[in-house]
Amino acid sequence: MNDQDPEGMTRRQLLRHTAWFGSAVVLTVAGGEVISQIASPGEVAADPKALRFVQLSDSHLGFKGTANTAVEDSFAHAIQQVNSLPYEPDFVMHTGDLTHLSTPAQFDQVKQMMTGLRTGHVFTVPGEHDSVDDHGQKYRQAFGANTKGDGWYSFDIGGVHFISLVNTLSLEKLGHHIPLFEMYPAWGWGTDDAVQALSYLRRFASVTCLNGHVHQLFTKTEGNITFHSATTTAYPLPAPGAATAPTPVTLPAGKLKDALGIREVAYRQGDQPLAVKDVKLA
């Protein structure tokens, strides 16, 4: 098996990228260039006036398997962890695969659970598991209020413009849930028209793309755009190329929560950096 991925990164380097829980990735814009560095949690912006939000992803409510026999419990734990933060997030964003089989009961359950989040707003985007049989119609019935087209939308808050994309509805063109770069095309971990979509963002000084789908932490920077893949609240998936397929990984007893987590993001207008902090569910 080739130890070099299509982006020129060795598997050892990629695995190192997946071990950033408890640290922060601080992104600073200087002279139009995005500079990324690993920082300690204490360096995350602490200004109470900063924009703060939380990213959850891949809760997969309805999953039944040895990789996590109680995904509802781990999602409830993640919600509890958000609610125990020393601040109330401006919003919480769930970046897809809310459910495992896109049934009305699963959508209702995750929607009811998220009403318990201590935040002003909750936003979602669909994953491919949320649109497995109907092009996302049941998802939009549950979560499509105030969205456009197939469920996309945009808004401004705290000096930042957010665009929530949908790229999971045509499974024959599998890959804003899926990465907007070719993380691992052999597993569908990429988006066919990402180059076109990203071309519209090149004129901005700094762009951050947050996604789910891959159930593990990963970050990369291309010019003015930095990509962050989030971990999951359900179960881990193998690193790209580390298995024959992206199937759920069953970890030794007591180790599952170490692979699950939430993401805190803070931004302060001016010269301050955007801070991304990934925190274990444990």
DSSP-assigned letters across all residues of 19-51: --TTSEEEEEEETTEEEEEEE-GGGS---TTSE
Question: What's the whole-number mean pLDDT along residues 68-83?
Answer: 97
Range with the poorest average pLDDT among 41-55, 58-72, 113-127, 181-195? 41-55
Q: What is the pLDDT of residue 6?
A: 40
Tell me the pLDDT band of 270, cut-offs 50, 70 and 90. low
Write down all domains in the chain, each with its CATH number in brackets.
Answer: 12-40+49-274 (3.60.21.10)
The secondary element (H helix, E strand) that includes residue 76 is helix 71-83
Residue showing tokens 């924009």: 51
Q: What is the pLDDT of residue 224?
A: 87
CA 13 centroid distance within chain = 20
Instruction: Write out the two tokens for 97.
Output: 């695969």
Whether the pLDDT of residue 168 is over 80: the answer is yes
Kindly tell me the sign of the dihedral angle through the C-alpha atoms of 67, 70, 75, 80.
negative
Beta carbons within 10 angstroms of residue 58's beta carbon: 29
* Cβ proximity of 113 and 142 under 8 Å: no
* Cβ proximity of 63 and 93 under 8 Å: no
Whether the pLDDT of residue 1 is over 60: the answer is no
For residue 153, give the nearest of 175, 180, 126 by alpha carbon: 126
As a whole number of angstroms, the distance between CA 95 and CA 209 comes to 11
Amino acid at 52: R
